[in-house]
């Protein structure tokens, strides 16, 4: 049994037995972790946190080898995103990202970059009014950091470089990327994509979060991003994210 100390985001929590709660955390050191907080409902002051959804906490827990549920001995709230309260679109956008992480992340498989991304995204949601852009930024960076990156810098079939402005490439959901003109053949499954959309996607993928916050995205590119990203996520993760439909 190891004692683990780590920052952790509350994805959700639920009552457990008479006086306890189960918390589903996304931790920086261990990825997705389920913990039990014994007695928290009987004596709420025992812990320095009420397990508010999306809040960032410093937790200490005993990691059991033979169980998926670990015993949390300390949980102190470090940051809570109170600006979400009473703001439905912020909550839905936060819910969407939390659900995506919860569905895709494998239990106890650390991905600190995704953890940092989620915290940055929640912070930005508190102050930035352009929620659609933040959602696309999150989707693009999350895909890249969790190994589901769409292949858009060259042809996914032959590897040939595709010069966006001069060549009409198509996007194949099935193959997970761009297909050059020569490889298109009789593939009727291709989506037309604009050079502007591809450039925006690549920029967001490569640029730091703070730099992306300054990016202005024209409405026509936003529409395209929404269409391609949502379909790509559903196709490749083979899961419909419930909160996604409220965002469109
Ligand atoms: Zn090709």
Structure tokens at 120: 């940055």
Taking the centre of ligand 1 as the mean of its atom positions, its distance from the CA of residue 172, in whole angstroms, is 12
Helix, strand or coil, per DSSP, at residue 116 = helix
Residue 107 confidence (pLDDT): 85
pLDDT at 223 over 90: yes
The Å distance, Cα 201 to ligand 1 centre, comes to: 20
pLDDT of 165 > 70? The answer is: no
Binning pLDDT at 50, 70 and 90, where does residue 51 land?
very high
181 CA from centroid of ligand 1 (Å): 7
Q: Would the pLDDT of 200 be above 60?
A: yes
Average pLDDT over residues 210-234: 93
Ligand 1: centre distance to CA 141 (Å): 25
Instruction: Output the CA 117–ligand 1 centroid distance in Å.
Output: 33
CA distance 196 to 211: 18
Tens of pLDDT, residue by residue over 3-40, are 999 999 999 999 999 999 999 999 999 999 999 999 99
51-71: average pLDDT: 95
Going from the Cα of 184 to the center of ligand 1, the distance in angstroms, rounded, reads 7
CA angle, corner 96, sides to 91 and 99, nearest 5? 120
pLDDT band for position 185 (cuts 50, 70, 90): confident
CA separation for the pair 46, 76 (Å, rounded): 10
- The continuous run of DSSP H or E covering 190 comes out as strand 190-192
- Centre of ligand 1 from the C-alpha of residue 137, in Å: 28
Query: 192 CA to middle of ligand 1, Å?
Result: 15
- List the one residue out of 208, 243, 247 whose CA is nearest residue 225: 247
pLDDT of 237 reads 75
CATH number of 1-80: 2.40.50.140
Q: State both tokens at 87.
A: 């703001």
Residue 232 has pLDDT above 60, yes or no: yes
pLDDT at 164 over 70: no
- Long-range contacts of the stretch 165-174 (C-beta < 8 A, 24+): 165/195, 168/192, 169/193, 171/228, 173/231, 173/232, 173/235, 173/236, 174/235
CATH 1.20.1440.120 describes domain 83-248: yes
Which residue ranges make up each domain of the chain?
1-80, 83-248
* CA of 186 relative to ligand 1 center, distance in Å: 13
Distance 5 CA to ligand 1 centre (A): 48
Q: 227 CA distance to ligand 1 centroid (A)? A: 23
Strand, helix or coil for residue 108: coil
């Amino acid at each position: 049994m190891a004692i683990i100390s780590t920052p952790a985001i509350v994805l959700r929590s639920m009552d457990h037995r008479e006086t306890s709660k189960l918390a589903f955390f996304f931790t920086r050191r261990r990825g997705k972790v389920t913990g039990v907080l014994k007695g928290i409902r009987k004596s709420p002051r025992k812990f320095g946190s009420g397990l508010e959804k999306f809040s960032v906490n410093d937790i200490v827990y005993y990691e059991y080898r033979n169980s998926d549920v670990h015993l949390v001995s300390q949980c102190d709230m470090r940051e809570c995103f109170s600006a979400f309260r009473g703001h439905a679109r912020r909550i839905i956008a936060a819910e969407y990202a939390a659900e995506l992480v919860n569905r895709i992340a494998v239990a106890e498989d650390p991905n600190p970059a995704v953890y940092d991304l989620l915290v940055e995204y929640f912070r930005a949601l508190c102050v930035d009014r352009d929620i659609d852009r933040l959602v696309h930024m999150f989707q693009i960076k999350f895909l890249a950091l969790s190994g589901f990156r769409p292949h858009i810098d060259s042809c996914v079939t032959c590897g040939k470089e595709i010069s966006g402005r001069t060549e009409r490439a198509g996007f194949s959901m099935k193959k997970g990327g761009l297909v050059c003109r020569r490889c298109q053949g009789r593939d009727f499954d291709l989506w037309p994509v604009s050079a502007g959309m591809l450039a925006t996607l690549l920029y967001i993928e490569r640029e730091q979060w703070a730099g992306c916050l300054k990016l202005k995205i024209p409405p026509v590119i936003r529409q395209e991003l929404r269409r391609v990203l949502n379909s790509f996520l559903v196709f490749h993760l083979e899961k419909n994210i419930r909160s996604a439909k409220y965002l469109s």
